[in-house]
């Protein structure tokens, strides 16, 4: 996830990049939402287990930008979402 932040700093301000970056956040949000439901967790339960605020989970699932890689890592760890699964998710979305 550090590459996302690095890329954002490089391309900050370009509308094409903003669209791609925030689209990424939206896709990650959908993945978190679907996985949370599969695991039968509430936003509150996920927040407590990931040691983040419920508002942060709401923001992630809503596709908000500005979520740190550290926060995503905590949420992915609780949901047991691996890097490979994230890659597979994006491959499926690209077809």
Mean pLDDT by 10 residues, the chain (95 residues): 52 48 81 95 98 97 90 97 89 73
Q: What is the CATH number of the domain that holds 37?
A: 1.10.260.40
Is there a contact between 81 and 46 (Cβ–Cβ < 8 Å)? no
Burial (CB count within 10 angstroms: exposed 0-12, middle 13-18, buried 19+), residue 87: exposed
Residue 70 counted as domain residue: yes
**How confident is the model at residue 37, as a pLDDT?**
96
Residue 3 counted as domain residue: no
Region of 38 on the Ramachandran plot (φ > 0 left; ψ -120 to 50 alpha; else beta)? alpha
41's CB contacts (< 8 A; 6+ apart) are: 49, 79
Residue 71 counted as domain residue: yes
Residue 6 counted as domain residue: no
Statement: the pTM of the whole predicted model exceeds 0.85: no
Residue 4 counted as domain residue: no
Residue 9 counted as domain residue: no
């Amino acid at each position: 996830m550090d590459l996302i932040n690095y890329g954002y700093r490089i391309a900050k301000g370009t509308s094409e990049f903003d669209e791609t970056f925030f689209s990424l956040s939206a896709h990650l949000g959908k993945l978190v939402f679907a996985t949370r439901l599969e695991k039968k967790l509430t936003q509150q339960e996920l927040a407590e287990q990931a040691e983040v605020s419920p508002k942060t989970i709401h923001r992630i699932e809503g596709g908000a930008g500005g979520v740190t890689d550290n926060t995503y890592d905590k949420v992915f760890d609780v949901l047991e979402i691996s890097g490979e699964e994230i890659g597979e998710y994006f491959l499926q979305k690209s077809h």
